A and B are shown apart, each in its own frame.
Chain A
Amino acid sequence: MNRLVIKGGRLVDPASGVDGIYNIYIMGGRIASIKKADTDTSEIIPGSPGLDIIDAENLLVIPGLIDLHTHLREPGYEYKETIQSGTRAAAAGGFTTILCMANTRPVNDSESVTSYIKKKAAEEGSGVNVLPIGALSPGQKGERLTEIGELKAAGCAAISDDGVPVEDPGLMRRALEYSKAFKMPVISHAEDAHLAGSGVMNEGVVATRLGLKGIPNAAEDMIVARDISLAELTGGRLHIAHVSTKGAVELIRAAKKRGVNVTAEATPHHLTLTDEAVIGYDTNTKMNPPLRSMEDVEALRAGLKDGTIDCVATDHAPHSTIEKDVEFDKASNGIIGLETAFSLIYGLVEEGVLTLSEAVKAMSTNPAKAIGIDKGSLRVGFPADITIIDLNRSWTVEASRLKSKSKNSPWLGKTLKGVVVNTIVGGNVIYKA
């Protein structure tokens, strides 16, 4: 049986409250033991058959990152991203598990599409665990429920009509109610389509200056309020995707206080950029929800700090040049995020917004909890999904080095701190810098 030892790294595992220098022993794809680095290491003999050793001295060792929100685009939009390229990007970004959204073509609203994605990921993927998210309604049409039980059986980890907000509160109620039987979280893209209208950026001074149509915060707040009410009514399991407004943070905080079964995520870009980034009309600053004001960013950061926002999720949304090198108001929403996520969140640690432990919690521990999987911690017996990072090194975001098929990132040309050195899934090194 192959063994792997990760030697002398700084292990940060918020779930078990560990932060120190450890040797991690892996056997059969699982964590076999964890020992203080200063204990006897005579059994680690380099060159022993079947033993791999990773020297992690001066490196950070954390439970593998988990992203609740990616778009892999396959099937249907393989020119933007494939399961292969997307999972490679995930591995390069330090992710060991990703959830992929249902807005493919055909929509992932049935067992057959889910199985296709699982099969492709197993055959062509980088080794990252791919957990599909099933659509909430067939074709994301918002008319009736999908076969949530079957989707779960096929391997889906949650249901969502992400990208197409569920307009009918009646349907949302039933989804929250029905999914309880299968312990499937319902992920809400909280946006009132009527209020958002044809807006292309945050409503406010910057939009006024740029002559672009705005999307008010209220478009998000009112649906967050609605869905919290429905979760309260049904006792269902609600997860709010890509929170962007101060109002939504406050609503979620109050709901959690009342004991509502709600979790929430925020993206690295909503945590680090404001709508000022849109000045210059770079379409890589166009996303939905839009980049908001500084006040919103600060509320999101505070929410992440105090646990109101449980997770960081990338909303990795690859688009080709034909969707992005066009007029701003015609450009597609979204940016890629898998490969820059950790560095950006580590930037918040450097800024003093989060502790390192809080960052890891938001990117691994809490996402695992949110969907109820036995990951997100490096305890004995857990799958050896591990990310090793060099916090002392920086890297420059260049289109040529990005593994994603699309290059729609607002950070192109920027230098970020924190380089993913190894990504390990089930004891196998699937990415090496």
Chain B
Amino acid sequence: MRLKRKDILGIEDLTPDELERILATAESFKEVSAREIKKVPTLRGKTVINLFYEPSTRTRTSFEIAAKRMSADAVNISVSTSSVVKGETLKDTAKNLEAMRPDCIVVRHSSSGTPHMLAKYVGCSVINAGDGAHEHPSQALLDMLTVKEKKGRIEGLKVAIIGDITHSRVARSNIYGFTKLGAEVTVAGPPTMLPPGIENLGCKATSDVEAALKGADVIMMLRIQLERQKESLFPTLREYSRFYGLNESKLKGAKDDVIILHPGPINRGVEISSEVADGPYSLILDQVTNGVAVRMALFYLLLGAAREDAVV
């Protein structure tokens, strides 16, 4: 049952079989969170360091709760500056953390690839909690779990991911995840927000949102960041909202039982209208609940057995 890997750095590296295994395990862990006593002793004595170089209440809290429900000790380290500013190399940082003998480092960083570099420097497990515009594997897993619960399957579903694909790690991880499990993924956004060669990740790409939404079973709306306006990736929020935002009228092309996911926090009235956000298709809160279960599953599968190199 164990994942034959030290780290979870991206969905790109995972096989469909591994994805299924993580999702199945996460389903079991949902029960633990539903209990009165939401704690199991499984990872007693293990130490998890949450190393966050980027502010993130949601993801950090979710990892922290997941670790604590498994009885692991979770330590949060928030770093406001990159190693360059501190005058310390990433290797120094890694070696210092490793000297504290953690079993797992959960890392969030605004620079793509930082978890990969860290994983090379430390012997313990590394979980990528979001790196730059690269990947956010636990988010994609919780999205997949949510969809699987609601739709009973992932294979054969039509998934539309709408918004700033270029800067979205959530989009990349979900493209990999959903396509690996047999869904058909279409990404859509302004041409300035569709990175070159995105189709090579296994999805279709279009700037026609309505085309992307046609017949969709799942819609994933990405958060739009205001500062992209300064880079001229879109002219105004008003125009963005009109052509790329999700509202009741655009939703008509999707399947009747379409579900809507959003990695949060929502810009109401921009990428998603309030009526849609509060509508019956929105699963934003299920996503949060599933986030804890998925992260417990990752901890269990990475840390729940003796290390490969352990003497038994």
A touches B in complex, CB < 8 A: yes
Which residues of A are at the interface with B, using a C-beta cutoff of 8 A?
203-205, 207-214, 280-281, 321-322, 325-330
Contact A209 B201 (CB under 8 A): yes
Contact A211 B169 (CB under 8 A): yes
At the interface with chain A, which of B16-24, B25-33, B190-198, B263-271?
Answer: B190-198
A253 to B83, CA, bound (A): 44
Contact A211 B134 (CB under 8 A): yes
Known: A208-B200, A281-B116. 8 other contacts (CB 8 A): A209-B197, A211-B135, A212-B113, A212-B132, A214-B196, A327-B82, A328-B117, A330-B82
Contact B113 A327 (CB under 8 A): yes
Contact A328 B197 (CB under 8 A): no
Contact A329 B132 (CB under 8 A): yes
Contact B200 A322 (CB under 8 A): no
Residue of B nearest to A205 (CB): B197
Which residues in window 282-303 of B have CB below 8 A to A?
none
Which residues of the partner chain A approach B131 to less than 8 Å between Cβ atoms?
211
Which residues in window 200-246 of B have CB below 8 A to A?
200-201
Q: Distance (Å) between the CB of A327 and the closest chain B CB? A: 4
Contact B195 A329 (CB under 8 A): no
Q: Distance (Å) between the CB of A7 and the closest chain B CB? A: 49
Which residues of the partner chain B approach A214 to less than 8 Å between Cβ atoms?
195-196
Q: Distance (Å) between the CB of B83 and the closest chain A CB? A: 5
Contact with A along B49-68 (1 / 0, CB 8 A): 00000000000000000000
Q: Is B111 part of the contact surface with A, judged by Cβ < 8 Å?
A: yes
Which residues of the partner chain A approach B84 to less than 8 Å between Cβ atoms?
326-327, 330
Q: Is B273 part of the contact surface with A, judged by Cβ < 8 Å?
A: no
A406 to B92, CA, bound (A): 18
Which residues of the partner chain A approach B91 to less than 8 Å between Cβ atoms?
321, 325
Contact B112 A328 (CB under 8 A): yes
Q: Distance (Å) between the CB of B127 and the closest chain A CB? A: 17
Which residues of the partner chain B approach A213 to less than 8 Å between Cβ atoms?
133
Contact B89 A322 (CB under 8 A): yes
Q: Is B109 part of the contact surface with A, judged by Cβ < 8 Å?
A: yes
Q: Which of B83, B112, B133, B196 contacts A281 (CB 8 A)?
A: B112
Contact A208 B112 (CB under 8 A): no
Closest CB pairs A-B (n = 10): A211-B134, A281-B113, A205-B197, A327-B111, A211-B133, A325-B89, A211-B112, A208-B195, A330-B84, A325-B91
Q: Distance (Å) between the CB of B205 and the closest chain A CB? A: 11
Residue of B nearest to A198 (CB): B231
Q: Is B114 part of the contact surface with A, judged by Cβ < 8 Å?
A: yes
A330 to B90, CA, bound (A): 11
A208 to B195, CA, bound (A): 6
Residue of A nearest to B113 (CB): A281
Which residues of the partner chain B approach A209 to less than 8 Å between Cβ atoms?
12, 172, 197, 200-201
User: Contacts A210-B113, A210-B134: A326 and B83 contacting too (C-beta < 8 A)?
Assistant: yes
A326 to B83, CA, bound (A): 7
Q: Which of A203, A321, A322, A330 contacts B111 (CB 8 A)?
A: A330
Q: Is B87 part of the contact surface with A, judged by Cβ < 8 Å?
A: yes
Q: For this complex, into which size category does the number of interface residues on chain B fall?
A: 20 to 34
Which residues of the partner chain A approach B133 to less than 8 Å between Cβ atoms?
211-213
Contact A327 B117 (CB under 8 A): yes
Which residues of the partner chain B approach A329 to less than 8 Å between Cβ atoms?
111-112, 132
A221 to B111, CA, bound (A): 28
A281 to B111, CA, bound (A): 11
Q: Distance (Å) between the CB of B241 and the closest chain A CB? A: 26
Which residues of B are at the interface with A, using a C-beta cutoff of 8 A?
12, 82-84, 87, 89-92, 109, 111-114, 116-117, 131-135, 169, 172, 195-198, 200-201
Residue of B nearest to A281 (CB): B113
Q: Distance (Å) between the CB of B153 and the closest chain A CB? A: 27
A/B interface sample: 20 pairs, CB < 8 A: A208-B197, A208-B200, A208-B201, A209-B172, A210-B113, A211-B132, A211-B169, A212-B133, A214-B195, A280-B116, A281-B114, A325-B92, A326-B84, A326-B89, A326-B90, A327-B90, A327-B109, A327-B113, A329-B111, A330-B82
Contact A204 B197 (CB under 8 A): yes
Contact B197 A281 (CB under 8 A): no
Q: Distance (Å) between the CB of B290 and the closest chain A CB? A: 24
Which residues of the partner chain B approach A280 to less than 8 Å between Cβ atoms?
116
Which residues of the partner chain B approach A328 to less than 8 Å between Cβ atoms?
111-114, 117
A207 to B195, CA, bound (A): 9
Q: Distance (Å) between the CB of B79 and the closest chain A CB? A: 12
Residue of A214, A322, A327 with most chain B CB atoms under a 10 A cut-off = A327
Q: Distance (Å) between the CB of B59 and the closest chain A CB? A: 17
Residue of B nearest to A325 (CB): B89
A210 to B116, CA, bound (A): 11
Which residues of the partner chain A approach B198 to less than 8 Å between Cβ atoms?
208
A212 to B113, CA, bound (A): 9
Which residues of the partner chain B approach A208 to less than 8 Å between Cβ atoms?
195-198, 200-201
A68 to B3, CA, bound (A): 51
Contact A321 B197 (CB under 8 A): no
Which residues of the partner chain B approach A326 to less than 8 Å between Cβ atoms?
82-84, 89-90
Contact B135 A327 (CB under 8 A): no
Which residues of the partner chain A approach B172 to less than 8 Å between Cβ atoms?
209, 211
A325 to B92, CA, bound (A): 9
Residue of A nearest to B176 (CB): A209
Q: Distance (Å) between the CB of B217 and the closest chain A CB? A: 25
User: Contacts A208-B198, A208-B200, A212-B132: A322 and B113 contacting too (C-beta < 8 A)?
Assistant: no
A207 to B12, CA, bound (A): 14
User: Contacts A208-B196, A208-B201, A211-B131: A327 and B114 contacting too (C-beta < 8 A)?
Assistant: yes
A208 to B12, CA, bound (A): 13
Residue of A nearest to B194 (CB): A208
A60 to B279, CA, bound (A): 78
Residue of B nearest to A213 (CB): B133
Which residues of the partner chain A approach B195 to less than 8 Å between Cβ atoms?
207-208, 214
Which residues of the partner chain B approach A330 to less than 8 Å between Cβ atoms?
82-84, 111
Which residues of the partner chain A approach B83 to less than 8 Å between Cβ atoms?
326-327, 330
Contact A325 B197 (CB under 8 A): no
Residue of B nearest to A330 (CB): B84
Q: Distance (Å) between the CB of A132 and the closest chain B CB? A: 30
Residue of A nearest to B116 (CB): A281
Residue of B nearest to A197 (CB): B231
